Structure formats: C-alpha cells, structure tokens
Structure 1
Amino acid sequence: MNAPAVASAPGKLLLAGEYAVLEPGRPAVVMAVDRYVTVTAGPPEHAEVELVTDLLDHPVGLRRGPHGLAVCDERDAGHLAGVLVHLAAVVDTVDRLCAESGRGRVPVRLTVCSDLHQHGVKVGLGSSGAVTVAAVRALGDYLGIPLSGEERFRLGMLAGVTVDAGPSGADLAAATWRSLVLYRSPDRDALLGRLRAHGVLETLNAPWPGLSVRILPVPAGVSVHPGWTGRAASTSARIGRLRRTGWRGGDDHRRFLSDSERITTQMAEAVRRDEAPALLAAVRDARLLLGELDRRTGLGISTPLLTALCRTAREAGGEAKPSGAGGGDCGIALLPAGVSVEGLHRRWTEAGIVPLALRPCAPHGSPQIPSDVPYTPAPRTIR
C-alpha cells in the first residue's frame, strides 16, 4: 500500500491583466498569497476513488469506467461541482497519463482542506487553481510519479481545460511557482483539442505557444491589502457572458488588449525596479481599464462595495482595483511603504468590506527562475 502524500498550494490575487489574459500570449501579473489549499492522497475506504472536502459532510465515491470517472451513487452527481469537479478532473487526467505511460491505476482518496473560504463561501483567491495544483502534486507523490514544477503546472492545466477551457491558468501558475509572476496564457481550446486527439502524454510534452512564466520579486516599496466584499462571483460565468456579447474581435477589443499589454508590462517593470509611484500608477490604470471594459460590455465587474474599496484606498494615499473577474469576491489595495493601514481597514469594515490578513507568498519548493529571464516550461517525458 502506498504511503499517504500531502501537498498544499496557495491562493492568488490578480494585480493586472484580467480578461486580456484570456487571450493566448497576453500577460497578467498575479501574486500568490499565504492562504492555502491542502490535499491528502491516500487509500480509499470504500469506493475505487473517493473525494472528500471540508465543505461536504460525506465522501463522494467514484468508479473508473471506459469513459472516465462516474459517481457510485447518483445522489452525489450534484456534488461534482466546485473543488470536487476539479479533483475528479485531476484523477481522470493522471489516470490517462498512467495508462499511456504503462502504469497501473491505483485506488485513491483525495481529501481537501481549504483556507480560501470564509464561512464556507469562496473569497476569490483562486481556489480551483490551488486545489488543482495541490491535488496534482499529492497524487503524483502518492503514485510515485516524479513531477517537476513545469509538469505539475501542465497537468493541472490539462485537467482544468477538461472542466472549462475558458480560464487563463494564471491561478495555476501562481499556485505552482508560489510567487509573484508575469504570466502569459497558452491557447486552451487548442490544448483541449490536442488532448482529445493525442492524449495526455503527447500534449504534456508538446510545445504550448503563447505560454510564458516570469518570476518577479515581491516589491518592498508598497504593502498589499486585500478586502472581501462578502459575495462570491463566478469567473467562468463572466467569461461566458463576455464571449456572448460579440465584443471580442472588434476594434474596442483590440484596443483593450493593447492597453492591457502596456499597463501590465509597465506594472511588471515597476515591480522589478521596486518603483512604488509607477506601480501605484499601473494599478490605477488597470482599474480604469476594467471600468471602461465594464461600461462597454455590461459585465457587472464593478459593484458598490468594490467601488467603495477602491475609493477609500485612494483616500488613504494608495491605489486599488478589483482582483479578478469582479462582480464580487475580492479587491486589492496597495499602499506606499510607511502609510498606516488601520484607517483603511476601519473604513472598509464600516462599509461592509472584510479586510483579509494576507501576505505575498514566498517561493518554496518550486523552480527558482531568475526574475529577469522569461521562462517557458519544457517538461520531461514521464516513465
């Protein structure tokens, strides 16, 4: 019997590049933060595959079949959502990898504990990406499959696209490299097509055009302060709504992508140089760009609480913006070094915004990529 394996992965905050990063090769700046999802892989008690989360009062049992995983009890079909659907996708993807590599499939229980929720509600810190990365690592360790950081990221991405090819994978990058990163996304629709046509192993090792990960230093000239609106928001739902607007491909879309590229690149350079005024200006520009996108598409990115979060941060001497798709979840404020955060937190609390005690996550257990060298993963063949 294999020894249980435990792995954790951090959540994330998006500093710039929302929506633009959905397009292959377009950048985002994303920060890993010190709240984690922990996944334990071990032997199951009853079913061939068991998924357990602290958000559900019983295990969900799955059976392996010719077409992948299926629930043992149809009453559990509705529970295969949220983190559990991502756990199941990881198991199914690794199952296919094992079959293609000549390895046998092993019964397994994956148990999840998440710090990325408040009172059972997600706060917008990338819980899906974190649970995917943690599950890939825990399951790989449990099965005795040596996986590099690049391979964990790629397997996580392949599992993710089988659930939804829309999200960019920025949360996966932050969770894998546990750092502040400048991330450019691959073409997820192309990955899904290749995965279906050629399998996991071939897709894992193929070139992924557009993908790039650059590790950035955590700036010392500003402090980072997230606030939670108390309302969960669906990134996938907003991505779907954006696609249905017909906005993509038009002149407004092209200008948005160009402006986002400029702002995100300026932010990454300000971070690299630790230039607080330039970094705050980039946060301001990123917020204004999201506001313009919201006005043109009606996505509902901004909410009264996110507006209040940003306004009070500016009044405190900093800058702020929604983090991620908007419509709820989190906003993020940056204050210059030396500026007290107590007044900002007091105003947030009075407005119904919950300050989150988070810090940038220090890299740990991941490849150390020089901050000034672009990095494109190139995984080894798995045997």
Structure 2
Amino acid sequence: MITQVKAPGKLYLAGEYAITLPGQASIIFAVNRYMTVIIADVDETKPVITIDSDKLGQKLIHLDQLDQQTLDDTWNLTTKTLQVMSLWLAEHQQTLTSLSIKLASDLDQDGKKIGLGSSAATVVALIKGIAHHYQLSLSRLELFKLSAITLSSLDSFKAGSMGDVAAASFESLIFYSRFDNQWLETELSKSNCQLSALIATDWPKLDIHDIAFPSNWRLVVGWTGQPADTQQLLTINAKVARIYKERLGSKTTPLIKRLEKNIQQADYISFRTNLRLNQQALVKFADFMHINYVTPKLRELLSSAYRRGIAAKISGAGNGDNGLAIVQNEATEMALKKAWQARDIIPLQLEIATPET
C-alpha cells in the first residue's frame, strides 16, 4: 500500500510574537508550498523504518529501538513524530510496521528557508500520512493537537506559537488563538495520559477557525533573500520578553479581531488601517526588545506598498524573510511586484492553500 499526503506552509498576516502566549490571537495564511510525504509498506525480516528526505538524506530506524532514539540530531522532528504515532496507533490496537517514508519539500527558495514553517509542515504531513496509511481518521483539529503535542515534546520547539501547525493542519486562512501550554505540559506528564483522550478534550484558550478571504483580494508576497532564525528571535531575553509580549498582545489582539471582521466584510480601507496599526505595534515591541526587526529591505518592501495605498506588513519574526501585501486588482499587483524587483526583493508565487481532498 502506498499513501501520499501533503501539508502546506504558512505566512502570518498578524499576531506575531504575542501569539507565543496563551489566549493571544493571530491570523495566518496557509500557502501553496508543501511538505509531501509518501509512505509505502516494505517486507523486512526485522521491522525497520527507512526515511529518505530530500533535505537531510537517509535514516534507518529499527522499530524495536524507536523509543531509545536520541532527539538531539537533525532528525529529531521525524523521530519524535514516529514515537508519538507509535503510541497513538497502539491506543487504536495497531502497530507501527516496516515502512519506507519519503519526505520532499518545496518550502524553500534556492535552498534557503523563506519563513514558511517547514518544521511544522513536516510533522503535520507525517502524522496525516501515518493516520491515512493505517486507515484511521483525524479531524483537522485532532491533527493539529497531535502535531502540537509532538512539537511541545521537543525543547527547541515548545516555546513556539504552534500557529504554523494550525495553518498546516487547517489548510486555509485561519484565526488562531494559542492554547495554554502549561496545561498541556501538565496533562502530558500524567502517568495515565492517553493521547486519544487528550486530543478529544477541549484545550483551554484554543480557538482555530476558518476565515473566508474576499474573492477580489489578492495575496502578494515578497522575499528579502535573508533567512530569519525564528527560534533564536523567540528566545531573546525570555523573562523580560513575556512582559513586553503581554503588552503587545493587549494592543494587537483587539486589532486582529477587527481585521477578521474587515476581511469578512471585504472592507479594504479599514483592513489597511488596522493592518498598519498592527505593524506599528510590532515595530515598537521590537524597539523595546532591541530586535533587528525591520531590515533595510523590509523597510523598502513596506514603503513601496504604502506609497501606492496598498495594505502591507512584515510577515513573521522580521529580521529577514518575507513581507506581504493585499491588493484588489492585477494592475496594482504587477506595479508592486515591479517596484519590489527594482529593490532586489523577490516576488514569490504564493497563493492561499486549498484543503487537500
């Protein structure tokens, strides 16, 4: 049996930084660049999983040693996902068997990361693929929760927002409010913790729902050519950062709720105003935190849009990666892309993803 699935990348419209705190809000695009997973059954005398990644090479895991695998190498995401899925399958009276797993990504540009959330897409696609392969169903919300559990179990990812996981799981434009991560950590530490029961439970503060994007609005994305290290940015001055993130969230969460209403009502003028207010709040936060948020190229990306009356914003953690704009017609889109290209900013061929059938 062969199973093929994919999970999309993401771009933040609004909510960065504050979204790492429980209950804060964000709006996130799932975009049409993907992590693809192909799973096939194999005959082996000793049960093994062979992983072939177009980015990392090959890895062989003997299933009788899966629980003992270290999580301190470049394979930690796939290894932890397999460990979690082995437990989840056991709760459904199934066993992880010998498999060939291929991972292929188009979430980068010329071999460089472009801020689309490749780590989250890897975990989501692998969980989705294994569930499909063993003919077990997962709702989009359950897929998110299993993926979030996996990433929350890794020290290098547990502080993240999981917004990229939400976008990859729901495959659309979404409103996302972060769950209470301390509650999840407590639940996972209980000796009687069952994954199936945990993903069936309501998670405190979690809210994920689709937002319908106006049919005449167009997403335009520009890449600076400078990858940003999101995990490093998220850990700068962690104790002080929480205070400033709470202040940021008190400003941005009401704005994000207004932005959602602006999108639903296709009110472009109000949307443009509220998006710029969100951007200004992030710039002030970055100044307080001494984060190099607005690079020269990102400043040019924004000013090129603002001069043309276009709604625009830096997407993600700043310090490189992407900015985005929302336009209402093709002529405006072409003019903006031309202005970006004149400043060495690369327009990316990205659209809002549509759910995989």
Aligned-partner Cα distance in 2 for 1:19–1:42: 39
How many residues align? The count is 351
1:315 and 2:307 aligned? yes
Equivalence for 1:359: 351
Code of the residue aligned with 1:306 in structure 2: it is: L
2:11 to 13, 18, 22: 13
1:93: how far off? 0.7
1:277 and 2:282 aligned? no
Aligned-partner Cα distance in 1 for 2:356–2:41: 27
Correspondence list, 1:258-269, <5 A: 258-269=250-261
Question: Any idea what the Cα deviations from partners look like across 1:93-141, whole Å, max 9, x if unmatched?
Answer: 1111123343222122321111111122111112122222211111111
Equivalence for 1:50: 50
Equivalence for 2:281: 289
1:321: how far off? 1.5
Code of the residue aligned with 1:300 in structure 2: it is: N
1:176 to 169, 185, 190: 169
Deviates further, 105-114 or 190-199: 190-199
Equivalence for 1:234: 229
1:247 and 2:241 aligned? yes
Shift of the 320–248 alpha-carbon distance from structure 1 to 2, 3 Å rule, reads same
Equivalence for 2:90: 99
Shift of the 67–8 alpha-carbon distance from structure 1 to 2, 3 Å rule, reads closer
Q: RMSD across aligned C-alpha pairs, in angstroms?
A: 2.2
Code of the residue aligned with 1:91 in structure 2: it is: L
1:167 and 2:167 aligned? no
1:62: how far off? 2.1
Code of the residue aligned with 2:195 in structure 1: it is: V
Question: Any idea what the Cα deviations from partners look like across 1:55-114, whole Å, max 9, x if unmatched?
Answer: 23x31122345772527xxxxx87x42xx4322222111111123343222122321111
Aligned-partner Cα distance in 1 for 2:319–2:331: 28
Contact preservation (8 Å) 1:106, 1:143? no
- Which secondary structure does the structure 1 equivalent of 2:85 belong to? helix
1:32 and 2:27 aligned? no
Code of the residue aligned with 1:293 in structure 2: it is: F
Shift of the 189–48 alpha-carbon distance from structure 1 to 2, 3 Å rule, reads farther
Aligned-partner Cα distance in 2 for 1:121–1:43: 32
Equivalence for 1:225: 220
Aligned-partner Cα distance in 2 for 1:65–1:45: 16
Equivalence for 2:318: 326
Equivalence for 2:61: 62
Aligned-partner Cα distance in 2 for 1:108–1:196: 30
Contact preservation (8 Å) 1:317, 1:339? no
Code of the residue aligned with 1:31 in structure 2: it is: F
Aligned-partner Cα distance in 2 for 1:116–1:350: 24
1:212 and 2:207 aligned? yes
Contact preservation (8 Å) 1:165, 1:189? no
Contact preservation (8 Å) 2:217, 2:327? yes
Structure 2, unpaired ranges of 5+? none
- Which secondary structure does the structure 2 equivalent of 1:247 belong to? helix
Question: Any idea what the Cα deviations from partners look like across 1:228-261, whole Å, max 9, x if unmatched?
Answer: 11122122211111514x1323xx5443111111
Aligned-partner Cα distance in 2 for 1:232–1:44: 38
Contact preservation (8 Å) 1:317, 1:336? no
- Which secondary structure does the structure 1 equivalent of 2:227 belong to? coil
Equivalence for 1:372: none
Contact preservation (8 Å) 1:29, 1:183? yes
- Which secondary structure does the structure 2 equivalent of 1:106 belong to? coil
1:145 and 2:139 aligned? no
Percent identical across equivalent pairs? 26
1:306: how far off? 1.1
- Which secondary structure does the structure 1 equivalent of 2:235 belong to? helix
Code of the residue aligned with 1:10 in structure 2: it is: P
Deviates further, 261-270 or 320-329: 320-329
- Which secondary structure does the structure 2 equivalent of 1:134 belong to? helix
Shift of the 279–92 alpha-carbon distance from structure 1 to 2, 3 Å rule, reads same
Equivalence for 1:123: 114
Aligned-partner Cα distance in 2 for 1:193–1:59: 35
Shift of the 338–348 alpha-carbon distance from structure 1 to 2, 3 Å rule, reads closer
1:329: how far off? 1.4
1:199: how far off? 4.2
Aligned-partner Cα distance in 2 for 1:143–1:361: 26
Q: TM-score, normalised by structure 1?
A: 0.85
Aligned-partner Cα distance in 2 for 1:53–1:282: 41
Shift of the 284–69 alpha-carbon distance from structure 1 to 2, 3 Å rule, reads farther
Equivalence for 1:373: none
Q: TM-score, normalised by structure 2?
A: 0.91
Deviates further, 171-180 or 269-278: 171-180
Code of the residue aligned with 2:50 in structure 1: it is: E
1:301 to 279, 282, 293: 293
Code of the residue aligned with 1:174 in structure 2: it is: A
- Which secondary structure does the structure 2 equivalent of 1:340 belong to? helix
